[in-house]
């Protein structure tokens, strides 16, 4: 939603050769249409910041997303241009029972389609994480999957459990879905014993820090659609401000409670045919998708000292808010453009040299231009 903080990040790829040397990085993420900056990091009038001298880098990553259970599979899905749209799975809820073609009809939804994980949400090796069966059944599936994906991200980074335990590692989790809690409190005569910790959004991040014995800052953020990107910004800042030596940034979203679909439909936010149409007059809303993702960040000097494979260099991140505008969910173009310019300037980068960028869109008229 456009009322939430806007996030931008500039990264570049980096590959490691056999002798340890790295190829020159090429800009990859985020762009602005106007540029008044020199491309040279050492250019006059653009002083280098500590982030530019020793930037954060991505050394590990893992994911569970529709059609893929790791980044390699995700790349294959994208390369093959696979269409993963499908109807709400029957094991989530019976969407036909809630369907009504009129989106303003109370208590119903006309959004049947989305992008959902292929795996069952009830599978979890609780004993591996030293969690009792009773506590595990109280845990939001997001908590369970995040523990697994963080393990996979650390494994990808080549960081052992003994190495991470007791370290000054921060955890930032972005999430604005809380379907498990919504389901459980519908019948307060029947709920799991550990529901108070199993369904709290704060525990999404804190459970990771607890299970892996991490001592850096640990927090869950809900800034709606920008949640995980704002967490990425905070994880980067945590390293640059020496609050942590390693930062784990995660994002999660699972959808299995009809309530939010009903209220979003009434607000005309959801696509009626399960298709997002970016900047298209025929757009009828956005399509909800699931995902559990994690990246592991270090400062470049630390990663090089450890001999880590650097997957990407974080040249800079920034966050702001639109402030007052025409409506709560309407973007503020001026504020968002200013964020792009200020982020590039702080990093000493020229937006004109960005080779790749991503934008977020929702596909409904009042919420475009974002």
pLDDT band at 366 (very low <50, low <70, confident <90, very high): low
pTM of the predicted structure, to 2 decimals: 0.86
Distance of CA 334 to the CA centre of its chain: 24
Cα(294)–Cα(156) distance, rounded to whole angstroms?
11
34-38, 221-225, 366-370 — which one is most confidently predicted on average? 221-225
Buried b / exposed e across 116-138, counting CB within 10 Å, b at 16+? bbeeebeebebeebebeeeebeb
Q: What is the pLDDT of residue 12?
A: 54
What would the two tokens of residue 171 be?
């955890």
Q: Could you report the per-residue pLDDT of 78-131, keeping only the tens digit for each?
A: 999 999 999 999 999 999 999 999 999 999 999 999 999 999 999 999 999 999
Q: Could you report the per-residue pLDDT of 200-234, keeping only the tens digit for each?
A: 999 999 999 999 999 999 999 999 989 999 999 99
What is the SS3 assignment for the chain?
CCCCCEEEEEEEECCECCCCCECCCEECCCCCCCCCCCCCCCCCCCCCCHHHHCCEEEEEEEEEECCECCHHHHHHHHHCCCCCCEECCCCCCCHHHHECCCCCCCCCECCCEEECCCCCCCCCCCCCCCCCHHHHHHCCHHHHHHHHHHHHHHHHHCCCHHHHCCCCEEEEEECCCCHHHHHHCCCCCCCCCCHHHHCCCHHHHHHHHHHHCCCCCEEEECCHHHHHHHHHHHHHHHHHCCCCCEEEEEEEECCCCHHHHHHHHHCCCECCCCCCCCCCCCCCCECCECEEEEEEEEEHHHHHHHCCCCCEEEEEEEEECCCCCCCCCCCCHHHHHHHHHHHHHHHCCCHHHCCCCCCCCCCCHHHCCC
pLDDT at 70 over 90: yes
List the chain domain ranges: 57-65+117-254+290-310
Among the residue ranges 14-18, 94-98, 152-156, the one predicted with the least confidence is: 14-18
Number of residues assigned to the chain: 370
Nearest residue to 168 via CA among 251, 239, 70: 239
Does domain 57-65+117-254+290-310 bear CATH number 3.40.47.10?
A: yes
Among the residue ranges 208-222, 235-249, 260-274, 298-312, the one predicted with the least confidence is: 260-274
pLDDT at 13 over 80: no
């Amino acid at each position: 939603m456009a009322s939430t903080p806007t996030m931008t990040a500039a990264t570049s790829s980096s590959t490691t050769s056999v002798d340890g040397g790295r190829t020159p990085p090429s800009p990859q993420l985020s762009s602005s249409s106007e540029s008044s900056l020199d491309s040279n990091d050492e250019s006059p009038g653009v002083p280098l910041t500590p982030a530019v001298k020793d930037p954060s880098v991505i050394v590990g990553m893992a994911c569970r997303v529709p059609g893929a259970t790791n980044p390699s599979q995700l790349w294959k899905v994208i390369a093959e241009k696979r269409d993963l749209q499908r109807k709400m799975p029957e094991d989530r809820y019976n969407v036909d029972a809630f369907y009504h073609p009129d989106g303003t009809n109370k208590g119903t939804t006309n959004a049947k389609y989305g992008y959902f994980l292929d795996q069952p949400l009830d599978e979890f090796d609780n004993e591996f994480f030293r969690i009792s069966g009773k506590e595990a059944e109280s845990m939001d599936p997001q908590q369970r999957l995040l523990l697994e994906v963080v393990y996979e991200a650390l494994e990808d980074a080549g960081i052992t459990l003994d190495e991470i335990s007791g370290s000054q590692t921060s955890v930032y989790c972005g999430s604005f879905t809380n379907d498990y809690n919504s389901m459980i409190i519908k019948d307060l005569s029947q709920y799991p014993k550990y529901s108070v910790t199993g369904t709290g959004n704060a525990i999404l991040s804190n459970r990771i820090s607890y299970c892996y014995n991490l001592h850096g800052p640990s927090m869950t953020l809900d800034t709606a659609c920008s949640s995980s990107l704002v967490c990425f910004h905070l994880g980067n800042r945590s390293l640059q401000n020496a609050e942590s030596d390693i930062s784990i940034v995660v994002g999660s979203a699972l959808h299995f409670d009809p309530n939010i679909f009903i209220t979003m439909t009434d607000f005309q936010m959801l696509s009626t045919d399960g298709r997002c149409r970016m900047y298209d007059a025929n757009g009828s809303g956005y399509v909800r998708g699931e995902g559990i993702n994690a990246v592991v960040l270090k400062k470049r000097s630390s990663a090089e000292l450890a001999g880590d494979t650097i997957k990407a260099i974080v040249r800079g991140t920034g966050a702001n808010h639109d402030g007052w505008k025409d409506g709560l969910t309407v973007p503020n173009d001026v504020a968002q453009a200013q964020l792009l310019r200020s982020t590039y300037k702080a990093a000493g980068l020229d937006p004109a040299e960005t080779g790749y960028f991503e934008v977020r869109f929702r596909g409904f008229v009042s919420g475009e231009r974002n």
